[in-house]
Amino acid sequence: MSDTIGPIDSAKVPRYAGQAGFARLPRLDQVERADIVVAGVPFDAGVSFRPGARFGPSHIRDASRLLRPFNPALDIAPFDVAQVADAGDIAVNPFDIHEAIDAIQEAALDLTRDGTRLVTIGGDHTIALPLLRAAAERHGPVALLHFDAHLDTWDTYFGAEYTHGTPFRRAFEEGIIDTEALSHVGTRGPLYGKRDLEDDRRFGFGIVTSADVYREGADQVAAKLRDRIGGRPLYISIDIDVLDPAHAPGTGTPEAGGITSRELLEILRGFNGLNLIGADVVEVAPAYDHADITGIAASHVAYDLISLIAAGELPQHVNVPDREARGNDRHAY
């Protein structure tokens, strides 16, 4: 595939300069159609503790300048084999959570028409619900791998049903996730009560705790999860707080004892060949970040998710013949 428009040429414009889209990719309106789009959702009105994830998308994009176009771990140049573009941010109402959820669902459906795959950067975890609704409308109930310190299957907070701690319970109730293939990964930390785990089990979730990853290792964990998912359409939702606060301090509800960024990336790479149809990386809150640790981790995780999608079967391969005319030469990056 030689006709895609790649990122800006780093031999001409250094990586800390130029266009500020994810990995300095072209904007969606520059390519018109894409195999994979990255979209931001600057929304954090669903948080229960520290706010600030509305600034996650710009922070992750800024850190993503550091990425390079070849991914040796998966032996793929994702921006070569697929047209990837940045769709900008989905504008959402910060004062009306119901309206925001509807707007995210509508935008996700619009962006995924013609089979385009969507990788979303958040934003708090509330946004996973409308993203899963859109994924289910396209693919039917989807298998879900949920990386998070927390279960996010609680019922309500202060009477509110739609929050960052409840999206996967709502998704279960709405029948938009495949209860044969659900798993949390990286779970840890204190709960409100034992009932939290009983409810979660009733919804069909398996749990790979943070300690399981430490004891069994990334390869074995990935292999077990792969077996459970098989050929089902798979959605991966990654709350950056799945990482230990040492690896992701910039987040809203940090918990001690998390996995490392290396473990997370290695587990993800173990999913090569699965039918990954969409993904999100959420809960990056830059006000609590230090030295861009969290932004760098999130941008690398998003890059590996894009690489996994690019390595799989894409419904259409978009050819954009005027790449050279635009002066973008991905090979000189």
Q: Which residues bind Mn ion (CB under 5 A)?
A: 125, 148-150, 152, 239, 241
Q: What are phi and psi of 71, to 5 degrees?
A: -105, 95
Encoded tokens for 84: 């990837």
d(CA 272, CA 75): 11
How far, in Å, are 58, 103, 165, 271, 321 from residue 318 at the CA level?
27, 27, 37, 24, 10
CB 240 → Mn ion: shortest distance, Å? 8
AA letter at 36 = I
CA nearest neighbour of 314 among 85, 118, 82, 31? 82
Query: Cβ closer to Mn ion: 89 or 152?
Result: 152
CB 125 → Mn ion: shortest distance, Å? 4
Query: Cβ closer to Mn ion: 154 or 333?
Result: 154
CB 211 → Mn ion: shortest distance, Å? 17
CA nearest neighbour of 282 among 244, 236, 234? 236
> Residues with Cβ < 8 Å from 8, sequence gap 6 or more?
18, 19, 24, 328
CB 229 → Mn ion: shortest distance, Å? 20
CB 152 → Mn ion: shortest distance, Å? 4
Query: Cβ closer to Mn ion: 107 or 129?
Result: 129
CB 256 → Mn ion: shortest distance, Å? 13
Query: Cβ closer to Mn ion: 11 or 211?
Result: 211
d(CA 184, CA 182): 7
66: left (phi over 0), alpha (psi -120 to 50) or beta: alpha
Query: Cβ closer to Mn ion: 148 or 244?
Result: 148
CB 74 → Mn ion: shortest distance, Å? 26
CB 252 → Mn ion: shortest distance, Å? 8
Query: Cβ closer to Mn ion: 53 or 276?
Result: 53
Q: For residues 43 and 124, is the Cβ–Cβ distance under 8 A?
A: yes
Query: Cβ closer to Mn ion: 169 or 330?
Result: 169
AA letter at 127 = I
Query: Cβ closer to Mn ion: 135 or 311?
Result: 135
Query: Cβ closer to Mn ion: 31 or 284?
Result: 284
Question: Partners of 37 in the beta sheet?
Answer: 85, 118
Long-range contacts, stretch 211-216, CB < 8 angstroms, 24+ apart: 211/257, 213/185, 213/186, 213/259, 213/263, 213/267, 214/259
Encoded tokens for 210: 């943070």
d(CA 26, CA 37): 10
CB 197 → Mn ion: shortest distance, Å? 16
